[in-house]
Amino acid sequence: MPLSAIKAGNVVLSEQVAEQVIQYIQENRLHCGDRLPNEKELVAQLGVSRSTIREAMRSLRSRGIVVIRQGSGTYVADSAGVVEDPLGLAFRYDRNKTLADLLDIRFMIEPTIAAACAQRATPKQKREIRALAEDVERLIRRGIDHTEKDIEFHAAICKYADNELLSIMFSDVLYGIKIYQGLLKDRLLEKTIQRHQEIVQGIMTGDAQRAYTAVAQHLEDNRLAIMECVKEIETTNNLKGSKEDYEDRFYRIGHYGQAHGKEPAESGL
Residues 35, 151, single domain; the answer is no
The answer as to whether 127 is a domain residue is yes
Evaluate whether 53 touches 68 at the Cβ level (below 8 Å): no
Q: Residue 216 has what pLDDT?
A: 96
Q: Residue 257 has what pLDDT?
A: 42
240 Cβ partners below 8 Å, 6+ apart? none
Q: Residue 63 has what pLDDT?
A: 82
Cα dist from 145 to 75, 76, 138, 240, whole Å: 33, 32, 10, 32
Q: How many Å apart are CA 100 and CA 250, to the nearest integer?
A: 6
Ramachandran category for residue 25: left, alpha or beta (phi over 0 → left; psi -120 to 50 → alpha): alpha
pLDDT band with cut points at 50, 70 and 90 for residue 210 = very high
Residue 95 has pLDDT above 70, yes or no: yes
The answer as to whether 174 is a domain residue is yes
The answer as to whether 266 is a domain residue is no
Cα dist from 162 to 104, 106, 114, 125, 211, whole Å: 22, 18, 11, 11, 16
CA Rg, the chain, in Å? 23
Q: Residue 259 has what pLDDT?
A: 39
The answer as to whether 2 is a domain residue is no
Q: Provide the whole-model pTM.
A: 0.69
Share of the chain above pLDDT 90, in %: 44
Residue 75 has pLDDT above 80, yes or no: yes
Residues 128, 207, single domain; the answer is yes
When divided into structural domains, the chain yields a total of 2
Residues 234, 111, single domain; the answer is yes
Domain harbouring 36, CATH code: 1.10.10.10
Residues 106, 24, single domain; the answer is no
Domain harbouring 106, CATH code: 1.20.120.530
Q: Residue 157 has what pLDDT?
A: 97
The answer as to whether 23 is a domain residue is yes
- Which one has a higher pLDDT value, 41 or 100? 41
Query: What domain range is 19 assigned to?
Result: 13-76
Each residue of 14-39: pLDDT tens digit? 888 998 999 888 889 888 899 999 99
Residues 96, 213, single domain; the answer is yes
Domain termination site, one of 48, 76, 104: 76
